[in-house]
Amino acid sequence: MEKVSIEDLQPGDLIYIAWSDAWEANRIPLKDREYDAIWHEWGVFIFIRGRRKKHLVMAYNKKPGDITQWDFTAIPIDLILEIRRIQPRFLQTILPGLIERLLSKANSTVPKRLGKSQKAVLRWSVDSLFEMDS
């Protein structure tokens, strides 16, 4: 596992990220270290996106035993403390051709407003990407 910069990442890399986030409490902390809320995440790097603030977008698999269901998270890059690449081209190794399809779908036009019949897509599946291409 190597420490890398954001510029070193390629879509499909399996990564670990340590990042700082906001917090709330019912008392004011007295020590500086108590102000640090550090999150530890791992997943597959997808891309950097954002208009006002750039975000690192990664996919992660939450459903045990099913590598076809993935969720996404977007972390503001100015909150990232450390990035480590666990395995380069991880997604290309376990699901060949998927990252290319995912990136082409992510770069397509997305409606600015969702109508009543449309729902926000928070999760994608491998099967749905192949169905959309047919």
Whole-prediction pTM: 0.73
Write out pLDDT tens, residues 65-107: 666 677 888 999 999 999 999 999 998 888 888 777 777 766 6
24-30-31-33 Cα dihedral, nearest 10 degrees: 0
Residue range(s) defining the domain that contains residue 102:
2-133
* pLDDT, position 130: 47
Per the model's pLDDT, the better-predicted residue between 100 and 38 turns out to be: 38
- Produce one character per residue of 79-116: b if its CB has 16 or more CB atoms within 10 Å, e if not: bbeebebeebebbbeebeebbeebeeeeeeeeeeeeee
For residues 115 and 81, what is the distance between their CA atoms, to the nearest angstrom? 38
pLDDT of residue 72: 84
Please give the pLDDT value at position 61: 74
Side-chain half-sphere exposure of 76, counting CA atoms within 13 A: 8
Q: Give pLDDT, residue 105.
A: 65
pLDDT at 132: 44
The rounded mean pLDDT for the chain is: 80
Q: What is the number of domains present in the chain? A: 1
pLDDT at residue 127 in the model: 53
